[in-house]
Amino acid sequence: MVHMSYVPAAGGGPESDRTYRSGVPTENVEKLVQPPEIQERGLALGPRTWRMPKRLRRRRDERGAEMVEFALVVVLLIALLYGIITYGLILAAQSTITQAAADAARSGIVTTTPVATAEAQACIDIGWMNKTCGTPATGSYNTTNCTFSPNPADAITAFACTKTCPSNVNNQCLTVSVSYNYSGAPLFPELPGLNVITPSTISSTNVLQVSTPSS
């Protein structure tokens, strides 16, 4: 007669649930797997957290560099804007001076006092520029050749004279010249060094026939 008895398999029972085949308890394996910063010490600062002060310093350094770059860019933008405004006013002044000479000549040829009328009309046309306007000083002009030197006392000089027309010696022509000393009295304050590329004088001359052509 054969007697049989139950023998539990090796590794069975509660203790086997806590061990691997190597015989190391599960708790020890978990401790080996866990990062060193939280083993037996709870939550601690990790490697990324220790780098935060360096990152903050780097951001401060970048902010300083950004301020320097911003300052340089702002200076360039202001200079560019300044140049646009300056040249816009120069073009406006050139157009005004040209129109003033043309209007003065047209108004002078229809009156009995062409020279005085033309010079007065020229100074009226440039009124918006708010600059002093006058005629050449005594002895600084030549009525024969209709040449003159601008009056240093005025920012704008208007000069008119009559002489024989080049195309027909039997007719008289009225010559009106308007000169603006821009370097001495600019419309907009100039930046240092900008006067190198801006005109020193803006002028215009217009010639119209006064007398009726002879037959």
pTM over 0.85: no
- Letter string b/e over residues 116-125, b meaning 16 or more CB atoms within 10 A of that residue's CB: ebbbbbbbeb
What is the model's pLDDT at position 20?
A: 46
What is the model's pLDDT at position 130?
A: 92
What is the model's pLDDT at position 18?
A: 47
Please name every residue paired with 161 in a beta bridge, in sequence order, or none if there are none.
175
Q: Tell me which residue of 101, 157, 155 sits closest to 132, measured CA to CA.
A: 155
Pick the most confident of 2-6, 21-25, 91-95: 91-95
Which pLDDT tens digit goes with each residue over 10-25? 555 555 444 445 555 5
Structure tokens at 22: 């190597």
Query: Per-residue confidence at 193, pLDDT binned at 50, 70, 90?
Result: confident
What is the model's pLDDT at position 117?
A: 94
Query: Per-residue confidence at 191, pLDDT binned at 50, 70, 90?
Result: confident
Between 48 and 178, the more confident residue is 178
Q: How many CB atoms lie within 10 A of CB 187?
A: 18
Which pLDDT tens digit goes with each residue over 30-62? 555 555 554 455 445 555 554 555 555 556 566
What is the model's pLDDT at position 215?
A: 47
DSSP assignment letter at 42:
-
Q: Tell me which residue of 127, 209, 122, 201 sits closest to 160, measured CA to CA.
A: 122
Is 103 within 8 Å of 117 (Cβ atoms)? no
Least confident of 9-18, 99-108, 177-186: 9-18
What is the model's pLDDT at position 93?
A: 96
- pLDDT at position 134 over 70: yes
Q: What is the mean pLDDT of the chain?
A: 79
- pLDDT at position 101 over 90: yes
- pLDDT at position 119 over 90: yes
Query: Per-residue confidence at 27, pLDDT binned at 50, 70, 90?
Result: low
